Structure 1
């Protein structure tokens, strides 16, 4: 499940309708059109000028239409439109995150009567500065997932009607439910949140901010809820980033959509000034800013540097958040390499010793090594080092003799550590191969050499992957 591209510019006057409540992922073209076209509070100027209408749910454009006429709705002051699809805009499936107003978007009708502007990348440092001004963000930095789960549980308890407007439609009705009072559970069988309403199936929310759980973990959670009495629980994966693939039995809810749901519910709430309402409003703003912060890790173009700018990251007060952003960027780069690189081998991304690392490797069959010995070879990029490496499980060990055996093996296969085919792709490339006259080791089985390349682009890493794969193909017996 890829991260959507940002919405492109639209030169004509445009009106955007937030259709979170009326739209669902299984909605067909007609249902999306109906959810978008009626009925909204729009003024005479909007009706006169607007050329296009967009239906937005979950921060993503679900439908785009050229407006042909407006008609009055059954409720005074509300209007609907008749229109036709507008594929010429190329906006369906794109994200409107970049258009989110800086202090939330309580009105479900958003006007761009001068058109939608071109995307302008907001510096990471500017977003970090805005976050640092938010007291809730300061609390969040130290707790992350725990903060969000605790806040949403408080929200459920403190503002029942508003919470129902935000969450109730995410679960199904259960007339036979034994629940007589609404309540929320924290950490029931290790589940982050379980929301209960009379007459409804339980709503399970698994909350992830910077990371995603493994499929096995989600399957295990479904196994737990399957034993509960009553209608089957509904499962929601609440995350800043979409899962890499659809996970059966789970509905993905982005924090961007959560913020939109909150803002729409706030707009329809009669209470505009209480402490509780203001807390939820500020939380929605923090979520939008955090979502924008994570969007800075997306690879928008192949000529971008593989890593985030350290000087901009320094503007973020939380060391944990800086580290999480570095790791997320490494994962985004890894995903790009996996998609655009060779169809063989596998990629990886992590943080070690405080620095992001991305890698690619594959199995290699070498002359003189048995077919049952899975030698792995490839490259790593970390902290300005581009490494060529080999993993030798048949020589694994931590003793000096094990280390010598690995070094002798590596010396017997210099073709696995040849940087010369990479000089053009990795330019400007340091001519010195390190360690000089020997090999580096990570016990128990990892052998490597490296060159210094301080700032590689994503495109350079993709090109290097293809070249290294060709080298390893040639090296095979």
Structure 2
């Protein structure tokens, strides 16, 4: 396959006024443009979208109704009413939970009319989204191509032709950029841990950053890794007591995934979980009674965190109270069946070996590259996560472990 010229794609986008108009609110911009196009030219619906029926006319177009990007009330050639719901993902990625929540909102609101639910996305949807949501997956590449094909053979005013063509070209060029990012010489779909990028990957990363699209690829990478973790949990997490909670996203310019289990403790919740962000593998404790002050001197905060962990977890879930010389940490209470090495690399400060986010999130991390090469680490991460979650379930089922959290008052009581 011929390598796409990223400089030419970036230049075409920079010269497209529609692209610059879209930057301030990408999803809303596309929804508004498509709403205008379909309302003014109802026949375009048949050519542009993959519908299950042929549109004769449109009776209404709603934007942001119950948070739905676009809801179109259409009349089919048969004379029957049909609904078209369009969920639009440009800057963000598709999420099954969001689409399922929209299904709930639609129940009873659209009457008995048949409804085509279309997911329009710039990046590929994760497997879990396709399997769970029941929405038709439709990409921007096809949308742009369909728009350009339709406008070239339709009766459209001269002024509108210019605008519609610019929009179609914008969408096609954005899609080409995503294609280039995900081809064989591009960025991996799951493994974002690239210690040394190839010149091509450097070029892709720079162009995506310049166009403010790098976070979209990061979110996609996180969602694909999370799918692998979900699948491994489904196969090998044996607990019937705890349900695993998942999350993914893009924070502090880094992809992030997490998985955790929880139980009620002292009128609140105690969660043990793992989080992979950037080049870190973290074990975390989320406990409201830690009540970490948002503004505190670093020295005092570390002292408080040390005391809190000594009185509760005792480094049974977190790794160890000290970082060794050379940037290593040795797990204090690691079980024999752990898939993590006994001694692991970390960039935690020796003077501050515990990290936290207010109000109650405490964690320690090890370096992913201390677990092996980038490719090997991401292939083995799902099994490592499930192994750790199994260990966490044994801790949350241990009365002696729980009692320490039940008896804990709060960090503020240390003052």
Shorter-chain TM-score range: 0.5 to 0.7
1:260-271 aligned at under 5 Å gives the runs: 260-266=145-151, 269=153
Q: Deviations over 1:85-131 (max 9, x none)?
A: xxxxxxxxxxxxxxxxxxxxxxxxxxxxxxxxxx4564766644443
Q: Note if 1:361 corresponds to 2:259.
A: yes
Structure 1 length-normalised TM: 0.57
- Give the Å deviation of 1:349: 1.8
1:277-288 aligned at under 5 Å gives the runs: 277-288=161-172
Q: Note if 1:412 corresponds to 2:301.
A: no
Distance in structure 1 (CA, Å) of the matches to 2:165 and 2:307: 63
Q: Note if 1:448 corresponds to 2:363.
A: yes
Q: Deviations over 1:164-200 (max 9, x none)?
A: 43349444679xxxx8x75534344544333345534
The counterpart of 1:335, out of the listed 216, 227, 250, is: 227
Distance in structure 1 (CA, Å) of the matches to 2:2 and 2:232: 26
Structure 2 length-normalised TM: 0.64
- Give the Å deviation of 1:432: 5.5
Q: Deviations over 1:44-84 (max 9, x none)?
A: xxxxxxxxxxxxxxxxxxxxxxxxxxxxxxxxxxxxxxxxx
Equivalence for 1:324: 216
1:115-194 aligned at under 5 Å gives the runs: 119=1, 122=4, 127-167=9-49, 169-171=51-53, 184-194=61-71
Distance in structure 2 (CA, Å) of the matches to 1:471 and 1:169: 45
Report if aligned partners of 2:120, 2:139 keep a CA contact under 8 Å in 1. Answer: yes
Distance in structure 2 (CA, Å) of the matches to 1:275 and 1:465: 53
- Give the Å deviation of 1:460: 0.9
- Give the Å deviation of 1:375: 5.1
Distance in structure 1 (CA, Å) of the matches to 2:330 and 2:362: 19
1:56-135 aligned at under 5 Å gives the runs: 119=1, 122=4, 127-135=9-17
Q: Note if 1:242 corresponds to 2:125.
A: yes
Report if aligned partners of 1:166, 1:262 keep a CA contact under 8 Å in 2. Answer: yes
Report if aligned partners of 2:368, 2:377 keep a CA contact under 8 Å in 1. Answer: no
Equivalence for 1:292: 176
Change beyond 3 A, Cα 1:385–1:124: farther
User: Which deviates more from structure 2 when the two are superposed, residues 322-331 or residues 356-365?
Assistant: 356-365
Change beyond 3 A, Cα 1:161–1:417: same
Secondary structure of 1:207's counterpart equals strand
Secondary structure of 2:213's counterpart equals helix
Change beyond 3 A, Cα 1:122–1:329: farther
Distance in structure 2 (CA, Å) of the matches to 1:183 and 1:158: 11
Distance in structure 2 (CA, Å) of the matches to 1:303 and 1:188: 37
Report if aligned partners of 1:262, 1:284 keep a CA contact under 8 Å in 2. Answer: yes
Q: Deviations over 1:398-455 (max 9, x none)?
A: 3679745532146722564165589x989xx746554546422223332222345679
Change beyond 3 A, Cα 1:311–1:260: closer
Change beyond 3 A, Cα 1:294–1:458: farther
Rg bigger for which structure?
1
Q: How many equivalent pairs are there?
A: 345
Report if aligned partners of 2:190, 2:378 keep a CA contact under 8 Å in 1. Answer: no
Equivalence for 1:218: 102
- Give the Å deviation of 1:142: 1.8
Change beyond 3 A, Cα 1:300–1:385: closer
Distance in structure 2 (CA, Å) of the matches to 1:276 and 1:193: 21
- Give the Å deviation of 1:226: 2.5
The answer for unaligned runs of 5 or more in structure 1 is 1-118
Equivalence for 2:89: 208
Query: Per residue, is there more helix in 1 or in 2?
Result: 2
Equivalence for 1:391: 286
Report if aligned partners of 1:410, 1:447 keep a CA contact under 8 Å in 2. Answer: no
Report if aligned partners of 1:363, 1:374 keep a CA contact under 8 Å in 2. Answer: no
The counterpart of 1:463, out of the listed 364, 376, 380, is: 380
Secondary structure of 2:177's counterpart equals helix
